[in-house]
Amino acid sequence: MTVLTTIRLRLEPFAEAHFDGLQTMNRDPAVMRYITGRPETPEETRAAIERVQKRWAEWGYSWWALIEQASGELVGAACLQHLAGDRANPHEIGWRLRPEYWRQGYASEAAREIAAFAFGTVGVPLLRAICDQANTASARVMQRLGMRYCGVERWYDCDTAAYEMTREEWHETPDRRG
Ligand SMILES: CC(C)(COP(=O)(O)OP(=O)(O)OC[C@H]1O[C@@H](n2cnc3c(N)ncnc32)[C@H](O)[C@@H]1OP(=O)(O)O)[C@@H](O)C(=O)NCCC(=O)NCCS
């Protein structure tokens, strides 16, 4: 399991120790507004940690908890996974943060490190990201990362805004690599 680090964050593969921080984040309606639309229950958080641990063992990537190095606080979570959990689908990058940590660049900082891991270490040819069409904050993270808008696509029972970036595009935009 791969721990990644950035200037301000440590990205730790989900573990039981992250339960309190993840549950605090995922029970917040502001966080879940464009994801499931309802707060996550403690049972769901527990099941998610277990599911993610299996994926780490199977795929070698999945969700990381974003830990602020200065405080040790869990500020968010981010992932590299296959769209819809199906290995036949392209890779997807995703993120969420506790609202206290919005507008500080943490999602973009984690996303750059995960993109570098995906293209450089895993060797994925293409990275995609999707969000609710009204989720402009998430779309801005995709744009800041250098992703291209591809149109509206149906994923997770939702008409989503889809973005993508090839490995070549990533290497051609060194300013995005942080
Ligand atoms: C999506 C989400 C993670 C985006 O969070 P965010 O804080 O806007 O994104 P970042 O952490 O990249 O921060 C970027 C913002 O911080 C500002 N910022 C402040 N300090 C910064 C720094 N040191 N570095 C970079 N940006 C900084 C940027 O200007 C930018 O603001 P802007 O978009 O108004 O220009 C957050 O809104 C969220 O958790 N939403 C709920 C969950 C969710 O919907 N997840 C996505 C599902 S698809």
User: Cβ < 6 Å from ligand 1: which residues?
Assistant: 31, 34-35, 94-97, 102-108, 131, 135, 137-138, 140-141
> 138 in a domain, yes or no?
no
Mean pLDDT for 103-130 is 97
> 34 in a domain, yes or no?
yes
Q: Answer whether residue 51 shows pLDDT above 70.
A: yes
What are the backbone angles phi and psi of residue 64, rounded to the nearest 5°? -110, 145
> 163 in a domain, yes or no?
no
pLDDT score at 1 = 86
Q: Quote the domain boundaries for residue 67.
A: 4-129
Q: How many angstroms does the Cα of residue 58 sit away from the middle of ligand 1?
A: 30
Q: Answer whether residue 177 shows pLDDT above 60.
A: no
> 99 in a domain, yes or no?
yes
Answer yes or no: are the C-beta atoms of 136 and 99 closer than 8 Å.
no
Q: How many angstroms does the Cα of residue 96 sit away from the middle of ligand 1?
A: 9
CATH number for the domain harbouring residue 36: 3.40.630.30
Mean pLDDT for 94-121 is 98
> 137 in a domain, yes or no?
no
Token duo for residue 154: 């149906």
> 16 in a domain, yes or no?
yes
- Select from 97, 100, 106 the residue to mutate for testing ligand 1; criterion: most ligand atoms less than 8 Å from CB: 97
* Euclidean distance between CA atoms 138 and 143, whole angstroms: 9
> 23 in a domain, yes or no?
yes
> 161 in a domain, yes or no?
no
Model confidence over 61-88: pLDDT tens digits? 999 999 999 999 999 999 999 999 999 9
Q: How many angstroms does the Cα of residue 102 sit away from the middle of ligand 1?
A: 5
* Total domain count, the chain: 1
pLDDT score at 173 = 77
Q: How many angstroms does the Cα of residue 154 sit away from the middle of ligand 1?
A: 24
pTM: predicted TM-score of the whole model, two decimal places: 0.96
pLDDT score at 121 = 96
Total Cβ atoms within 10 A of residue 29: 9
Q: Which atom of ligand 1 is nearest to the CA of 129?
A: 48
Q: Which atom of ligand 1 is nearest to the CA of 34?
A: 44
